[in-house]
Amino acid sequence: MNKGRIEAFTDAIVAIAATIMVLELKPPKVNTVAALLDEWPVFLAYLISFSLIYIVWYEHHNLFQRSGVISSSTYFLNGVWLFFLTLIPFVTAWIGESPNSVVAAVTYLLVMLLWTLAFQLMERQVTLDSDPHKRHYRLPRARFNFDLFLLGGLVIAFFVPFFAIVAVGLFSLILIVRMFQHREDSNG
């Protein structure tokens, strides 16, 4: 498949998913600083979801940089990954409106976890495709830790819903730090 065209198509979907979330940011009903600040959960949820999408795009970029040919399996898993990504505007709007709802918090983290798992399956596929002799694939330790982290966040969110947004914020931060480390240590 034409890698450049798949990348551009994927990036368009990522860009739209990241940007249509701003349609949730509505001018406050009354024009006071208090009314604006009252909307802080909506803004915080937007900031965190936008940051995560932006930094995960970097991971997608790296994955496709090192992939040679895009196989049907990779294309399929890319679609699964994009599908969960497009649910982020929905869960972000929900958690922004209802930051103390357990159902919203758990759904938010569940979408993030499934999105992350879809990425890991795609990463596995790209790795296997690049080396036809390879039979076994071991999930990198860092990826495994991400899954544990999000799963842990999901459990905590059952008791403290607001932790969902904190967990995804921390997850973005970890990925950002990793990106800067990656610069210094290309084997990272």
Q: Give yes or no for residue 15 binding its own copies (CB under 8 A).
A: yes
* Residue 20 contacts its own copies per CB under 8 A: yes
Residue 173 found at the interface with its own copies (CB under 8 A):
no
List of long-range contacts for 146-154, beta carbons under 8 Å, 24+ apart:
146/116, 146/171, 146/174, 147/113, 147/116, 147/117, 147/120, 149/174, 150/109, 150/112, 150/113, 150/116, 151/113, 153/109, 154/106, 154/109, 154/110, 154/113
- Residue 125 C-beta: closest distance to its own copies, Å: 12
What's the closest the beta carbon of residue 97 comes to its own copies, in angstroms? Answer: 6
Give the residue, chosen from 32, 148, 158, 188, that forms a contact with its own copies under the rule CB under 8 A: 32
Pair 123, 64: CB distance under 8 Å: no
Q: Rule CB under 8 A: choose which of 56, 104, 112, 113 binds its own copies.
A: 104
* SS3 of residue 177 by DSSP: helix
Interface characters, 35-74, with its own copies (x: CB under 8 A): -x----------x--xx--xx-xx--x---x-----xxx-
- Name which position in 166, 183, 185, 186 contacts its own copies (CB under 8 A): 183
- Residue 138: count other Cβ atoms within 10 Å of its Cβ: 9
- Asked if residue 16 binds its own copies (CB under 8 A), the reply is yes
How many chain residues bind its own copies (CB under 8 A)? 62
Given a contact cutoff of 8 angstroms between Cβ atoms, the answer to whether 104 and 165 are in contact is no
Q: Which stretch binds its own copies (CB under 8 A): 2-10, 115-123, 130-138, 144-152?
A: 2-10
**Residue listed under structure tokens 């970097």:** 58
Query: How far apart, in whole angstroms, are the C-alpha atoms of residue 158 and residue 168?
Result: 15
Q: Residue 25 interacts with its own copies (CB under 8 A)?
A: yes
Q: 174: closest CA among 127, 125, 116? A: 116
The DSSP symbol for 23 reads G
Site residues, its own copies (CB under 8 A): 1-2, 5-9, 11-20, 22-23, 25-28, 31-33, 36, 47, 50-51, 54-55, 57-58, 61, 65, 71-73, 75-76, 79, 82-83, 86-87, 89-90, 93-94, 97-98, 101-104, 107, 176, 179-180, 182-183
